[in-house]
Amino acid sequence: MLTLDRFEEASEKVREVIQETKLIYSPSYSDATGNRVWFKPENMQRTGAYKVRGAYYKISTLTDEERARGLITASAGNHAQGVAYAAQRYGARATIVMPTSTPLIKVERTRAYGADVVLAGEVYDEACDQARAMAAEQGLTFIHPFNDPCVATGQGTIAMEIVQELPLVEYILVPIGGGGLATGVSTLAKLLNPSIKVIGVEPAGAACLRASLDAGKVVKLDRVNTIADGTAVLEPGDELFPYLQQNLDDVICVEDDELIVAYLDMVENHKIVVENSGLLTVAALNHLPFTGKRVVSILSGGNMDVITMSSVVQRGLIMRDRIFTVSVLLPDRPGELVRVANIVAENRGNVIRLDHNQFVCANRNDAVELRLTIEAFGTEHKEHIVSALKADGLETTIIRTQL
């Protein structure tokens, strides 16, 4: 299936439905990493993710009878929307089985494309088992989100566009869940130019491909634990594994905390919203063991609910020391609160929360506790504010921030 002719056919076909996602040069990440970095913004794709490519191409290859039976798939969200949209274009009925942990925005958007949504299982793999059972019981045509060479061919059209726009690209970073996107991109990139290096990126809490490559065979993890819900997969596709073994040059695993910081960077420096799975390749830029190369980082999707956005931003600010909390012990007498506030203000800090506890000591004249959550410019500014408080004779301790 994964031949140059098929990739060319798929590229022509997906043009019927995709948005043009031109490369975006990143001055900030280029300066930070010493490489020339571009983003492939599939988060701006129709349905908010690259998945529409593989779904649409796969459905286009089905017979009229297969489409008429109705389509079914399992997905944590992005493939769901891709299948729902593609099915709508072909006038086919679609049923999507989604894990119960799927963000509400992905569920609602899938329904908005006319699909029936069934919530089942805590992770993708359990939802997939349910979808396969329903396909067998109801005679529906199953569309696998990744373990299908045809779907992977559709996803790989991204590589065609990258090479056409940046012929001298040297490295492509691609997120990995089940391996469909990585299979398509790495295989086509090697067909177009064998010197292009393709690096897969997994969340450390769901590194099923890394485990499989180390073992030399497909390995199923016991559990996954990551905020990158779109790549929270227990095992890579067995039909794709040989391609991944052959065409991927490396796999990088990143921690969830790195995704949180990457989200903050993308919002502030590029004004781009990227979901956690799509941020894998952004976080991986800091792990590259080279400089001076042309690197393209694929941002696979941007479907993120507002509650998650809020949580990630808050945690990112805390991790960057842009928000911190101190406990200050001071005598319970008039003017002490003003004294502390003046010190913070004079050192350009901004108090965003204040808690005054008079009962921290039995003797209130000895000490009461003042907890201040302060906005700062970063670690150096935070340390400057804390030093100023201590220099004024205040017993000051940095404590965990609770927002």
What class is the 53-142 domain? alpha beta
Mean pLDDT confidence for 197-224: 96
- The per-residue pLDDT for 372 is 94
| pLDDT at residue 340 tops 90 | yes
- The per-residue pLDDT for 158 is 98
Mean pLDDT confidence for 207-217: 96
| pLDDT at residue 169 tops 80 | yes
Q: How confident is the model at residue 229 (pLDDT cuts 50, 70, 90)?
A: confident
Q: Say yes or no: do domains 4-50+149-316 and 53-142 share a fold.
A: yes
- The per-residue pLDDT for 102 is 80
CATH of 4-50+149-316, one of 3.40.50.450, 3.20.20.150, 2.60.120.560, 3.40.50.1100: 3.40.50.1100
Q: How confident is the model at residue 265 (pLDDT cuts 50, 70, 90)?
A: very high
| Matching residue, tokens 């500014």 | 381
Query: β-pairing, 197-203 with 250-254?
Result: parallel
Residue 160 contacts residue 188 (beta carbons within 8 Å): yes
| pLDDT at residue 362 tops 60 | no
| pLDDT at residue 174 tops 70 | yes
- The per-residue pLDDT for 166 is 98
- The per-residue pLDDT for 232 is 87
| pLDDT at residue 365 tops 70 | no
Reported as a single tens digit per residue, the pLDDT across 61-84 is: 999 999 999 999 998 778 999 999
Range in 34-48, 69-83, 195-209 the model is least confident about: 69-83
Mean pLDDT of the residues in the chain: 93
Reported as a single tens digit per residue, the pLDDT across 368-402 is: 889 999 999 999 999 999 999 999 999 999 999 98
Mean pLDDT confidence for 36-59: 95
pTM, two decimal places: 0.89
- The per-residue pLDDT for 388 is 96
Domain boundaries, the chain: 4-50+149-316, 53-142, 321-399
Q: How confident is the model at residue 366 (pLDDT cuts 50, 70, 90)?
A: low
Active-site positions read: 51, 300
Reported as a single tens digit per residue, the pLDDT across 91-150 is: 999 999 998 988 787 888 899 999 999 999 987 888 989 999 999 999 999 999 999 999
| pLDDT at residue 176 tops 70 | yes
Q: Within 13 A of 1's CA, how many CA atoms are on the CB side? A: 18
| pLDDT at residue 363 tops 70 | no
Spatial CA neighbour of 28 closest among 265, 275, 319, 277: 265
Q: How confident is the model at residue 331 (pLDDT cuts 50, 70, 90)?
A: confident
Environment class of residue 339 by beta-carbon count within 10 Å: exposed (0-12), middle (13-18) or buried (19+)? middle
Reported as a single tens digit per residue, the pLDDT across 316-330 is: 999 999 999 999 998
Reported as a single tens digit per residue, the pLDDT across 128-141 is: 899 999 999 999 99
Range in 151-165, 255-269, 275-289, 356-370 the model is least confident about: 356-370
Could you tell me how far CA 206 lies from the centroid of its own chain?
Answer: 13
- Could you tell me the CA-to-CA distances from 213 to 176, 210, 265, 310 in Å, in that order? 13, 5, 31, 36
Q: Which fold has domain 321-399?
A: Alpha-Beta Plaits (3.30.70)
| pLDDT at residue 200 tops 70 | yes
